[in-house]
Amino acid sequence: MGKGMRAGKRPKAPGAGGMQKQLQQMQQMQRQMEALQAELEERELTATAGGGAVSVTVNGKREIVDLTIDKEVVDPEDVEMLQDLITAAVNEAMRQVEEMSNEEMGKLTGGLNIPGIM
């Protein structure tokens, strides 16, 4: 046996303390990300289409929580226009939620592209 070694003991791997520190940092980041995700799910964003004729509010869970349609755009003869306005407002609201989520997570991860994160 080498000098200073006891039977049954293995020498520590080089950098073992650094590995433990990295693991702790990753666990801390994971907790922060979970807290941020919960916070983002509570936020709401509103988008409009047709100059405000249709308004859609979406939360961070990507759920529609409010939809407002101005009476003036409800025309039984032009249902397609109303459908287009609703689609445009919903798509814009979803885009805004995605952008907000990516921006906030990017602040936390320092811009790292971590698979499975938003």
Instruction: Give the pLDDT score at 55.
Output: 97
58 and 44 Cβ atoms separated by less than 8 Å: yes
Residue pLDDT, tens place only, 24-58: 988 988 898 899 889 989 999 999 999 999 999 99
- The answer to the question of residue 57 being in a domain is yes
Residue 7 clears pLDDT 70, i.e. is over it: no
Residue pLDDT, tens place only, 47-94: 999 999 999 999 999 999 999 999 999 999 999 999 999 999 999 999
- The answer to the question of residue 2 being in a domain is no
Residue 14 clears pLDDT 60, i.e. is over it: no
Count of domains in the chain?
A: 1
| Residues near 45 by beta carbon (within 8 Å), at least 6 away in sequence | 57, 58, 59, 93, 96, 97, 100
48 and 29 Cβ atoms separated by less than 8 Å: no
| Strands of the sheet with 44-49, listed across from one edge | 44-49, 54-59, 64-69
- The answer to the question of residue 39 being in a domain is no
| DSSP, residue by residue, 55-92 | EEEEETTS-EEEEEE-GGG--TT-HHHHHHHHHHHHHH
Q: What is the CATH number of the domain that holds 75?
A: 3.30.1310.10
More confident residue, 70 or 110: 70
Residue 5 clears pLDDT 60, i.e. is over it: no
**Domain with 59 in it:** 44-105
